[in-house]
Amino acid sequence: MQATTELNFDHYSDLSDAEAGARIEDARARLGQRAVLLCHHYQRADIYRHADLTGDSLKLARLAARTDADFIIFCGVHFMAEVADILSRPEQTAILPDLAAGCSMADMASLAKVERCWRELAAVLGDSPDTRITPVTYINSAADLKAFCGEHGGIVCTSTNAPQIIDWAFARREKVLFFPDQHLGRWTGYKKGIALGRMAVWDPDLENGGLTPAEIENARILLWKGHCSVHQMFQVGHIRHWRAQYPDGQVISHPECSLDVCRDADYVGSTEYIRDIVTAAAPNTRWLVGTELNLVNRLAEESKPQGKIVQFMAPMICMCSTMQRIDPQHLAWTLENLAAGDVVNPIRVPAHEAALARVALERMLAVS
């Protein structure tokens, strides 16, 4: 049910952050345990402070499904709320406070383009791709792409379990089609000892991905031409300039960064991994971190009492702009509607898509 006129978002857009914050707390008190509030690590501080559960996208979706809450309010982006809907119980409802909170990386691979890629591969390879290629989608993708993988013997991966997933894929077929993030796919293949010359970039806007038949035959991993707009801005020059100043410092990056950045880092891993490594580090150490700014700032504040210095890798400021769309005004609007008995912005994956996507997700969970 949509909100009543009195609870239309127009009545919230002019609220100050402080006013919206107070109304969030009041609505949450009225809802009690009927609602659970999830916050991804990249969320802004004035949202993150309201969280019941924090973490990366898959962890949050799995934790929410184990709660008794009727409503799962996901302060993240669209694909995260879709995963929560797929993995939650039928009586639970996943909600995204602002439907404009998407993911530019996820949008770089659409079902139509992946299906066209599959047809073109079949024409080039002279065989059904299902017998030669395993489709692997990063969890940062739309539900219909997870369903595509479920239907075609494929699987989902995260930035943590990608190496295990690649092993699983190659145990079944000779090639992998990895989408939507080329950098995670390249780093994973590189760590598995696959030569860079055997990993070819598939450009979905070009016929046959811009590759010759020989290049397609030669490739062990076909990397979709997609990227994260935040992580692609980090450069090796940023690391080397910093190391010249702080030779005893440590560098940690997310695997959505370029291969050169990952190779120059001391540690590479997911948002949870980055948090864990920096949190567990010895006092008075210095860290350069290549991931989203809100997480880096939070780590910097949390690390101050131990004398640790945590710095953002790039000299310019760049936050995940779509994640930033979840603001106190939208969250207050969502929660007050719920408290009044109205559900706004529910995320419901069509049943046939959800069933196939769950197959691909359950394959991943069984492997990792």
pLDDT tens, position by position, 42-82:
898 999 999 999 988 889 999 999 999 999 999 999 999 99
Tell me, yes or no, whether 95 and 122 share the same domain: no
* Domain annotation covers residue 354: no
- In a domain, residue 318? The reply is no
Residues 137 and 222 in one domain: yes
* Top-confidence residue, 238 or 127: 238
Mean pLDDT of the chain: 94
Give residue 128's pLDDT.
77
Residues 6+ apart with CB under 8 A from 171: none
Residue 360 domain-assigned (yes or no): no
Any domain includes 330: yes
Domain ranges, residue 253: 235-312
Say whether both 96 and 118 belong to one domain: no
Higher pLDDT, 318 or 280: 280
Q: Is the pLDDT score of 1 beyond 50?
A: no
Residue 248 lies in a domain: yes
Are 220 and 194 in contact, with CB atoms under 8 Å apart?
yes
Same domain, 249 and 268: yes
Residue 195 is part of a domain; what is its CATH number?
Answer: 3.40.50.10800
Number of domains the chain contains = 3
Residue 342: exposed, middle, or buried by beta-carbon count in 10 A (0-12, 13-18, 19+)?
Answer: middle
Token pair 């879709």 is found at 82
Same domain flag for 218 and 247: no
Q: What Å distances lie between residue 356 and 108, 129, 350, CA to CA?
A: 21, 18, 10
Domain co-membership, 110 together with 223: yes
Cis peptide before 180 (omega within 30 of 0): yes
Give dist(CA 76, CA 81) in Å, integer. 7
In a domain, 355, yes or no: no
My answer on whether 168 and 209 are in the same domain is yes
Specify whether 200 is located in the same domain as 281.
no
- pLDDT tens across 174-227, in order? 999 999 999 999 999 999 999 999 999 999 999 999 999 999 999 999 999 999
E strand spans, 127-212: 133-138, 155-157, 175-179, 199-202
300 with 274, same domain: the answer is yes
Q: What is the pLDDT of residue 8?
A: 85
Considering the domain boundaries, does residue 175 fall inside one? Answer: yes
Do 244 and 304 have their domain in common?
Answer: yes
Residue 57 placed within a domain? yes
Using an 8 Å Cβ cutoff, are 183 and 190 in contact?
no
pTM of the model: 0.93
